[in-house]
Amino acid sequence: MEAGSFVAPKWVPQMANSAEVLNHLIGHPPSAPAPIAYNFLVPNLKGLENFFKAFDSQGSPASKTSLDPNMRPTSPPSTEAGAPEEEPSPITSTQDPNEVPTDPAKTGGGTSSAGTLNMMEISIFTAATEAFSKANTNCTIAESLERCKPIVALAKSRDIRVRGYVSVALGCPYEGPDVAPSKVADITATLLELGADEVSVADTTGMGTAPKTQELLKTLFAAGISPHDLALHLHDTYGQALVNAVVGLEHGIRTFDSSVGGLGGCPYAKGATGNISTEDLVHCLHSLGAKTGVDLDEMSRIGAWISEELGRANESRTGKAILARLSP
The catalytic residues are 266
Query: 199 - beta bridge partners?
Result: 164, 230
The answer to whether 19 touches 50, Cβ cutoff 8 Å, is: yes
Contacts for 133 with CB less than 8 Å, ≥ 6 apart:
126, 127, 139, 140, 141, 144
Residues 178, 159: Cα–Cα separation, whole Å: 37
Greatest CA span in the chain, whole angstroms?
A: 65
| Alpha-helical runs (H) found in the chain | 18-27, 45-56, 130-137, 141-157, 181-194, 210-222, 241-250, 278-287, 296-310, 317-326
Residues 71, 89: Cα–Cα separation, whole Å: 14
The answer to whether 119 touches 22, Cβ cutoff 8 Å, is: no
Three-class SS state of 12: coil
The answer to whether 19 touches 101, Cβ cutoff 8 Å, is: no
Residues 13, 256: Cα–Cα separation, whole Å: 27
Residues 197, 185: Cα–Cα separation, whole Å: 16
How far is residue 83 CA from its own chain's centroid?
29
Length of the chain: 328
